[in-house]
Amino acid sequence: MPDFDSKDSNGNTPLSLSIELGRSHLISLLIDGGANVNARNGEDLTLLHQSILNKDTETALLLLQHGADACCLTGDKKSPLRLAINSHMPKVVDYLCSKGVALHSSIDGIKDPPLWTSLELGYEDIAQILLRHGADTDCWDDGPDGCLQTLLHRAIDENKEVIAIFLIKSQCDIDSPRQPGPNGEGGDEANDKASPLHECCQWGLTKVLQALIDHGANVNALDINNQTPIHIAIRNQHEEAISIYYVTRI
């Protein structure tokens, strides 16, 4: 009986070699013949990793349907989900999520949660899939000087308005200020009680400001100095932000 799991000098089994060379017609035959769908090649990649890196949706789904490990990491600690997001493979992302893979940042060696990665790459279709499977729109995690912040705080701080507006429309926490870390870490950001509205008025992010107001953010929230967001807009001379507040009052 032929050994379908033997490896050549490059660490390839017949199945991994078929995937590498795009010989898709051989893949089902080898799997049906008993080839190990979780074998790793000489680059420490499983067959699933290979197919995703090749952007081969059909093969990736076939491997998953035949028991490929949906959570195995590459040698540099990237999960199949992370690879599928980076390769913009929505069908594979959807299937992996349906298999129950973790959707938080600790799934692999990458700090950013999958939702942030998909939005930063501009893949809102994949972000919607992640949300449908229960991804957290807040993902409280380390912020400046060790304080705790949400993805919305981060998007505002990094001036990523498209991401911020997507999160707001997806019902993230729109009012909470940053918080001190578990051992009190964080500088002024951890204790200033500035809401996302305060931050938008600080930096003049009027599109995000409008989205927050449209989705019910507290326009009268107070920071540590008893200032509302309109105080911040006036202090920073952001006339458009002031106008948005004026229209809201009317």
Each residue's pLDDT, cut to its tens digit, for the chain (250 residues) gives 666 667 777 777 878 888 888 787 888 888 887 788 898 888 899 999 999 999 999 999 999 999 999 999 998 899 999 999 999 999 999 999 999 998 886 666 678 999 999 999 999 999 999 999 999 999 999 999 999 999 999 999 999 999 999 999 999 999 999 999 999 898 888 899 999 999 999 999 999 999 999 999 999 999 999 999 999 999 999 999 999 987 776 4
Does residue 127 sit in the same domain as residue 166? no
What are the residues whose beta carbons fall under 8 Å from the beta carbon of 22, sequence distance 6 or more? 54, 56
Does residue 102 sit in the same domain as residue 131? yes
Contact 40, 56 (CB under 8 A): no
Does residue 33 sit in the same domain as residue 91? no
Residue 8, domain extent: 1-69
| Count of structural domains within the chain | 3
Last residue of a domain, one of 43, 69, 95: 69
| Spatial distance between the Cα atoms of 201 and 3, rounded to a whole number of angstroms | 66
Contact 173, 189 (CB under 8 A): no
Does residue 121 sit in the same domain as residue 187? no
The CATH number assigned to the domain holding 36 equals 1.25.40.20
Does residue 155 sit in the same domain as residue 82? no
Spatial CA neighbour of 171 closest among 151, 192, 144, 185: 151
pTM over 0.85: yes
Does residue 132 sit in the same domain as residue 170? no
Does residue 103 sit in the same domain as residue 47? no
Does residue 127 sit in the same domain as residue 150? no
Does residue 119 sit in the same domain as residue 157? no
Which residues pair with residue 179 across a beta bridge?
A: 148
